[in-house]
Amino acid sequence: MSLALNSKENAIAKASKVKLMIFDVDGILTDGSLHFGPDGEVMKTFNVLDGQGIKLLQQAGIQTAIISARQSAIVARRAADLGITHVKQGIHDKKTAFLELLAELNVLPEHCGFIGDDVIDLPVLTRVGFAASVPNGHAVVRTRVHYVTQAAGGAGAAREICDFILRAQDKYELALATYLT
């Protein structure tokens, strides 16, 4: 685990306040690769561990959302599968999308978390209470977040963040209790 701007204790304190966790898609929920089919359709691969982590957050009462610069029916489908109802796609001005989410959900920025990997994510990463990135994220981004995952984007990074938040809020054992009975 690498922590950029803050100590582990500070990252835990910030994650303990998260009521809304927002995910970027390309480079976070996927490895950032875009696969084009013969008819030009884009295919993406999602990690099932990440999906279960998102569901655990939701079951613990933490809202989830997606903000992505790319527009994709595949992302809409994955979000629906996971029960993520707050999805903002095709938006290059992520700050505006973030501010819209705050207004829609009546959540303060300090109660939000965001995980992103590139400079387009900085306007949100610099405004949330808990900012995270991945080891394969852009270097500028990694130096401006509270937490950098060990897992790469598309390879369990989102699950790692979900588990981190649940532990910071002392909800991890309760989240697992259903599976341990």
Q: Is residue 2 domain-resident?
A: no
Going by C-alpha positions, the residue among 129, 165, 132 that lies closest to residue 149 is 132
Going by C-alpha positions, the residue among 75, 160, 80, 73 that lies closest to residue 113 is 160
Say how many residues make up the chain: 181
36-94 pLDDT tens trace: 877 766 788 899 999 999 999 999 999 999 999 999 889 999 999 999 999 999 989 99
78-109 pLDDT tens trace: 999 999 999 999 989 999 999 999 999 999 99
Amino acid at 15: A
Q: Is residue 49 domain-resident?
A: yes
Residue 128: CB atoms within 10 Å: 26
Q: Is residue 1 domain-resident?
A: no
> In the structure encoding, which two tokens stand for residue 39, read together?
């008819």
Q: Is residue 3 domain-resident?
A: no
Element (H, E) at 64: strand 63-67
Q: Is residue 163 domain-resident?
A: yes
34 is in which domain, residue-wise? 8-180
Instruction: Quote the number of domains for the chain.
Output: 1
Nearest-angstrom CA–CA distance, 85 and 110: 21
Q: Is residue 112 domain-resident?
A: yes
62-81 b/e with 16+ CB inside 10 Å = b? bbbbbbbbbebebbeebbee
Amino acid at 7: S
Measuring CA to CA, how many Å separate 125 from each of 50, 105, 116? Answer: 20, 18, 7
What's the pLDDT band for 4 if we cut at 50, 70, 90? very low
Q: Is residue 71 domain-resident?
A: yes
Q: Is residue 94 domain-resident?
A: yes
Quote the pTM value: 0.93
**Which CATH number is 136's domain given?**
3.40.50.1000
> In the structure encoding, which two tokens stand for residue 41, read together?
């359709």
